[in-house]
Amino acid sequence: MNELLISNDKTDLNVIDEDYYLYQFTNDELIDILIKSEEWSSTDYVLAQQILAKRGVSINQADLEKLKTKHIDELQRPEQPQTALIIIGYILAFLGGFAGIFIGWYLKSSKKTMPDGEQFYSFTNKDRKHGQTMFVIGCICFVLTILTRIFIAAIR
């Protein structure tokens, strides 16, 4: 979290009403804000710290950093295998459908962006290879479907 934003927000927090939504959060939810600070504003981050302090909950910075590291590690993990999506994508690709091409493209190129801006592929290498294959099959079948329709229309 940007230290300048945090220092500015410390002075502004005095004007926040007690009915602000964070006051309704549980301690675990407030700690989650501290762990996933990239998902929250600096005001919410600082206010979560202050609310926890008022409630007598002390946060060990070393433990907080470990939890943040664990959160980043979880974000970097690829999605679970996409077996159903792969099967549907292959079927649609072989039928010459544009949806099969789109599913293949999605599987092969989808990325996650980490809080620091670094990007990782969303799916496993195996799923991405299926996506590439599906994309190529879908493109070939789509072109063949179009050419077949043109040929049939020319014959009639």
Position 156 scores a pLDDT of 80
Position 11 scores a pLDDT of 47
Whole-model pTM: value is 0.66
Position 6 scores a pLDDT of 54
The tens digit of pLDDT for each residue in 82-125 reads: 899 999 999 999 998 889 999 999 999 999 888 878 898 999 99
Of 52-56, 73-77, 85-89, 134-138, the poorest mean pLDDT is in 73-77
Per-domain residue ranges for the chain? 3-76, 83-155
How far is residue 78's CA from residue 110's CA, in Å, rounded to a whole number? 11
Give residue 153's pLDDT band: very low, low, confident or very high (50, 70, 90): very high
For CA atoms 150, 151, 153, 154, give the dihedral sign.
Answer: positive
